[in-house]
Amino acid sequence: MGLSLSDPNVRRWLAWVQARRVHDIERAGGELGAVSTSHYWLNVRPKNEPDAKWLEASVAHLGIRLIWLRSWAGVEEDLCSLLGVTP
């Protein structure tokens, strides 16, 4: 199952979660404006590097970090490499 980041309700919820996490970090004595990633988006890297940078920037304020895959066909190999396990 997936969620659409074009859904304003999903984006509003993610923005709220991100704001609460940053507030909690700051309240605990952390850096003001701290960056906190709590959600990950697996996607195939665009062929155009500026497109990849734009996608990363467009969701960073929501606390989402993009994990770039080489291809959907190789997702098992990429995830195993990320986790340091053998497929």
Q: What string of pLDDT tens digits covers the 87 residues of the chain? A: 567 777 888 888 888 888 888 888 888 887 666 666 677 888 899 999 999 999 998 888 888 888 888 888 988 888 888 889 987
d(CA 32, CA 23): 9
d(CA 38, CA 60): 11
Is 39 within 8 Å of 65 (Cβ atoms)?
yes
Kindly list the domain boundaries of the chain, sorted by start residue. 8-83
pLDDT for residue 48: 94
Predicted local confidence at residue 52, as pLDDT: 94
Q: Which of 62, 67, 72, 71 is CA-nearest to residue 5?
A: 62
Using DSSP's 3-state secondary structure scheme, residue 67 falls into strand
**Cα within 13 Å of Cα(80), Cβ side:** 7
What number of H helices and E strands is found in the chain? Answer: 3, 2
